[in-house]
Amino acid sequence: MIGGGPAGLIAAETLASHGIAVSVYDQMPSMGRKFLLAGRSGLNLTHSEPLDELLHRYGDSSAALEGAVLAFGPEQLRAWAAGLGEDTYIGTSGRVFPDSWRATPLLRAWLHRLAELGVVLFPRHRWTGTIATHDGERHERAVSFVRPDGSDIEVTADIVVLALGGASWPRVGSDGRWVGPLRECGVRVTDLEPSNVGVVADWSAHFVERFEGVPLKNVAITFAGRSVRGDAMVTSRGLEGLPVYSHSAAIRDALASSDSAQLSIDLHPDLDETLLARRLGKRRPKDSVSNWLRRAAGLSPVAIAFMRECTNNVLPSDAASLASLMKRLVLEIGAVARIDRAISSSGGVTLEEIDDRFMLRRAPGVFVAGEMIDWDAPTGGYLLQACFSTGVAAANGALEWSRLASGGSIQ
């Protein structure tokens, strides 16, 4: 097993539970670092919506992932967590979280279970990118790693599962360095690009100094005819948060053929424009524009400043025009944030390169799982769900292939 994230560890557990001797190699000092980082603000394991709706979230990749998600979906993932002592609950948005909210207790119990199953962990072992096939009856594969002291080591295995992640959050190990070696072996890999990522905006220094880290609460952001509500966080570079991440892939694709993109932002989605204009029509004679917006429309200081940023500090003075602006405020976007600031990445091993067992067609006995595969999904539990589902699918595919290759049976 190469990669100690959720996909790699669940594949290791699945194989070990069938009596397979499993070793997990990871270049980081400990396993599950991205899993821990994902749970820093609440571990969103999966989503509770019906399976057909959940599968739709994977877009063009839904058909390829369907079998994996149906076999190990939200119910199975929640049962798995409960088996580790972490019951789960459904939040108001339908997202599923462990009762403890955090990833640490779950990972600790998981690693203990893996140890009981005999899984051996090798942290600080970096894969060199080579897997050599030894001809012979068992079709062994020689896999090379660099050990913590800088020396090389070669290990042999009947089955290799690659679960090296994408290229987001490289500080926790997902650096995408596997792309080159796989391409050199003839495996088609689409470029890794940022997904679920913030957008870059040209803020004034004053706006950043005062409002960096302050959320625009309960806004609706629309792009390409699709609207998503939530909180958007002001950063020194632009905007982040769920309603931004939900559009980031579409924005990224639009920017590939254009110098800019425009987001339409509704600062008051709970009020229609007519009612909002009526409220704004009750301006006190001595009110400044800021006080007017605060008293009549209930806008926060960051929302008012945001309106000024988007309009070069030129706000209309009549209620109807101001209401229209608040409902359709335009933010010009020139770029999405870098991939190392993304929650996830799109791209990876193309679906045509793997069979229905998640085995590489060009390398029998070598399987891939998780974010290495060219699928994409929004935040909301869909990312982790697909990592777990494909990890289990790759392990089960490896078991099936091993049975056929050996002509024997595995319990």
> Does residue 157 have a pLDDT over 90?
yes
Task: Give the integer Cα–Cα distance in Å for 85 and 75.
Answer: 15
**Could you tell me how many residues make up the chain?**
411
C-beta of residue 125 within 8 angstroms of C-beta of residue 144: no
- For range 146-170, the mean pLDDT: 94
* Total-model pTM: 0.90
Beta carbons within 10 angstroms of residue 94's beta carbon: 14
SS3 195: strand
Query: Is 374 in contact with 348 (CB distance < 8 Å)?
Result: yes
Mean pLDDT of 87-92: 94
pLDDT at position 329 over 60: yes
pLDDT bin (cut points 50, 70, 90) of residue 137 is very low
DSSP summary character for residue 138: T
Q: Between vectors from CA 389 to CA 385 and to CA 391, what angle results, nearest 5°?
A: 120
CA–CA separation, 74 vs 389, rounded Å? Answer: 9
pLDDT over 50 at 409, yes or no: no
Measured CA to CA, the distance from residue 155 to residue 132 in angstroms comes to 10
Q: Which residues pair with 131 in a beta bridge?
A: 143
Domains of the chain, earliest start first: 6-194+343-406 (3.50.50.60), 199-336 (2.40.30.10)
Contact 172, 34 (CB under 8 A): yes
- Segment 11-26 shows an average pLDDT of 98
pLDDT band at 223 (very low <50, low <70, confident <90, very high): very high
